[in-house]
Amino acid sequence: MALNWTQMAEEMVEGAAASITQTLADHSDTEFVAAALHKPYTDRVGVIEIGGLALLSKDEQEDLGEDVWLAIEWENQVDHWMPEDRWEHWESQLSDEDVTTLHVNWESPTYDHLMDVMVDVAKRSRQRLEDNGTTGPDFVIVVMASDDDYQVATACLRPGEGTRWFPYEAAIYDRLAQIKELPVLDRVEQYCTILKRDDARFLEDAAHGLVDAEEDAIGALVPLLGDKRTRWTAAKLLADIAIPAPTVIEGLTQTLATTKRDPAGSAWVGRALVRLGRTDIVLASNLPADDITSAVTAPYTSFVNEARTKTPLDYGLLTEVLDTHPEWATAIADELRPGSGYRTISPEDIPEAIRGMASAYPVIRWHAVSVIDRSQQGQAADAALDTIVSLVRDDPDPTVRRLALLSLNDWYHLRLYVHTDTVRAATDDPDTAVRGTATYILQSL
């Protein structure tokens, strides 16, 4: 049955208004100024939690200062702000809905839709309480999500209220809005100034803005390679822009050749060159072996996920390096150790991942089986199932077998219980970690 978003929203408004009304009545001697629907949550496919409700008193507002919107710290909390059976019903419905949608770069469309609904719930609950005289016009209700709290929270407010309730954040976003209105080259100049000043308030937005400017940002970023303070950031952004223009390659190459006392910066320059298709320059350089192995593994890491255009998955480079430099195998395996942060892949990359799972090198096999994710690539990932199962059963490397089990578990998150006999057989695996992983999966089914 499809999730009835309208009905859920109606019950949320009823529940939020009733819970706030009850809390105000229970604490009639306390002046409350705000309420928050806080920390709706998802950490994996098929698990969505609605989050709690909290009320902020005037005294707490004054005492908490800059931390005032850490709603989890407020004294008055309501864990279930709808009847518990309806709470459980809607969390179950949300979780079931989540497994039916394709996730891109780990983003859940169901969770994103829930955020939109909850913003509307906050607005409607506030208006209802104001209309029936329970609260005054200055009492606000916001949604404090796990990410982008300011943007989600201010979407709940009326015009002009964002500056009063979020003065620090409002100043930041007003400044960013001004920059975005500038002509592109002036905008690039402002973003580069932020990089030079290392202004933490604006760095992430400046980085995104420079990547969005594409070739217009190249002329400003290349000179930043000469400054130790901005070298690594400039190198990464040039790789994210993904335009191997002659000026970019020349700037990176010259930096690699002349930089002697900035190991971290040199490593990022090496990664950028590899990501831009110039591995030959890195292999011919005087970089330490650790920096070279870090560079040649860069196209397989999560850094690629922020690129303007993501290059297709290709294990050819890694295979060639391992073939010609077997002495680097241990360092490469460490760079791509499980949990180190892998790139995401598209459905079009599935054939290459399947090819990687047949590699002679364990590090390539465990990387390839790890980047397969049914929730990310949809039905295209089903083509890899037989290969994943064969790795669980027969791969000589225990790390590969364990990660293949975890990859198979992605299907179970989607309520697709395939090859459970293989998981049961893995509880007798000679490796302790493999047995433990199989047991954990079976217990969570």
How far, in Å, CA of 429 to CA of 53, rounded?
46
The predicted-structure confidence for 121-177, as pLDDT tens digits, reads as follows: 999 999 999 999 999 999 999 999 864 578 889 999 999 898 889 888 888 888 889
Tokens at 324, concatenated: 């010609």
pTM beyond 0.85, yes or no: no
The predicted-structure confidence for 398-423, as pLDDT tens digits, reads as follows: 999 999 999 998 888 777 788 999 99
What per-residue confidence (pLDDT) applies to 100?
Answer: 72
CA angle, 314 then 316 then 317, to 5°: 95
**Per-residue pLDDT at 329 exceeds 70:** yes
Please write down the long-range contacts of 352-356, taking CB distance under 8 Å and 24 or more positions apart: 352/312, 352/313, 352/314, 352/315, 353/313, 353/384, 354/383, 354/384, 354/387, 355/315, 356/313, 356/315
* Overall average pLDDT of the 359-377 stretch: 92
What per-residue confidence (pLDDT) applies to 148?
Answer: 54
How far, in Å, CA of 184 to CA of 207, rounded?
14
3-state secondary structure at position 199: coil
Q: DSSP code of 379?
A: G
Please check whether residue 217 is in contact with residue 188, taking contact to mean a CB–CB distance below 8 angstroms. Answer: yes
Packing angle, helices 385-394 and 398-413, rounded to 10: 140
Confidence of residue 373 (pLDDT cuts 50, 70, 90): confident
- 140-144 and 32-38 strand pairing: parallel
**Unique residue bearing structure tokens 């009545």:** 25
Kindly state the helix (H) or strand (E) to which residue 159 belongs, with its residue range. none
The predicted-structure confidence for 27-37, as pLDDT tens digits, reads as follows: 999 999 999 99
Going along the chain from its start, the domains and CATH numbers come out as: 5-164 (no CATH), 345-445 (1.25.10.10)
